[in-house]
Amino acid sequence: MNPETVIDLHCHAAGLGAGGSGCRVSARLRRSWKFRFYLRAFGVTEAELEREGDMLVLRRLAEGLAQAQLVDQAVILALDCVVDSAGRPSPDESELYIPNDFIAQACRRHDNLLFGASVNPYRRDALEQLDSVAAAGAVLLKWLPSIQGIDPADQRLRPFYRRLAALRLPLLCHTGEEESFTRADNTLADPERLRNALEEGVTVIAAHCASNGRNQGEHNFPRFLRLASAYPNLHADISALTQINRLGHLQKVLARPELHDRLHFGTDMPLPCTGLTSPWFQLGRLPFAEIRRLAAIRNPWDQSLRLKQALGLPQSVLTNTARLLRRP
């Protein structure tokens, strides 16, 4: 991996299970307006997926990224299912399940896509699964605790963290409120719950810098900042920080220069395709002429990057990720 490569650290996938992908969507989520909203953002329809298979989503992502002038690669994130009390996978009880094999296969087909694995640590075979995804070329591990039912502070997870550290596999963990699903336990996304992983030497990336939500009567962002000052192995991505409900959050993060060498560019794709990160929401923060120029950028990766740069993102941050990811 070229250390100067510009990588989108945070890019989602989707699927219905068409074409033997193994993906699952809960009936509750499928009935929700959010399901149709995000399918449109991925540029696909249910009928297309049923006809061509879920791999169409990944092909469209790879094609769109190939047209970007400023971003070279993207980490595509799997999402493991919840597990039952015996440690057995329960895809039917999960809001969304995007299997590792599906994402790994897509990343083998498209050299601008990187495999972001997901392993629920409560699986009976969690350590074996970790070894498996590492062997398959995973560059990081992704958790969405509030959806997957994972408590990062659970002392039983320390052996899992030790294996992560030994594999040099970074943990990208959602922090702050989760609003993309029909239900979530946001107490599990409290950044303070990441202490055990950090103590065990895991490189942890706090997705979205814990920039929204509260825990124990305190905003999550100062809770993240305390951890970042205590643990140099705590990083963060800046995905979603230009979303309409997070206006000004990117500037708050960038005002902390001590964080700059631990920040990572991300889009939270397909978020830039939804209109929720439109440059026009920055009226009053950026000159009108600059907003108009940014809004004219058609490629979502290029627009996301240029918007963040206009709001103060240093060029140096863009190459942090290539130096951090596990190299297959």
CB 288 within 8 A of CB 38: no
* pLDDT for position 140: 99
Alpha-carbon distance of 310 to 14, in angstroms, equals 30
Residue 114 CB: number of other CB atoms within 10 A? 27
Buried b (16+ CB within 10 A) or exposed e, 124-147: eebbebbebbbebebbbbbbbbbb
Q: What's the half-sphere exposure (Cβ side, CA atoms, 13 Å) at 137?
A: 16
Full-model pTM? 0.96
Residue 111 CB: number of other CB atoms within 10 A? 10
Q: Which CATH architecture has domain 7-324?
A: Alpha-Beta Barrel (3.20)
* pLDDT for position 186: 84
Domain extent listing, the chain: 7-324
User: What is the DSSP pairing of strand 73-77 with strand 204-207?
Assistant: unpaired
* pLDDT for position 2: 79
Specify whether the backbone of 176 is left (phi greater than 0), alpha (psi in -120 to 50) or beta: left
* pLDDT for position 1: 65
For the chain, the 3-state helix, strand and coil shares in percent, each to the nearest 5, are 45, 15, 40
* pLDDT for position 3: 75
Per-residue pLDDT of the chain (328 residues; tens, 9 = 90+): 677 899 999 999 999 999 999 999 998 889 988 889 999 999 999 999 999 999 999 999 999 999 999 999 999 999 999 999 999 998 888 899 999 999 999 999 999 999 999 999 999 999 999 999 999 999 999 999 999 999 999 999 999 999 999 999 999 999 998 776 766 688 999 999 999 999 999 999 999 999 998 999 899 999 999 999 999 999 999 999 999 999 999 999 999 999 999 999 999 999 999 999 999 999 999 999 999 999 999 999 999 999 999 999 999 999 999 999 998 6
136 phi, psi to nearest 5 deg: -85, 0
Alpha-carbon distance of 130 to 117, in angstroms, equals 9
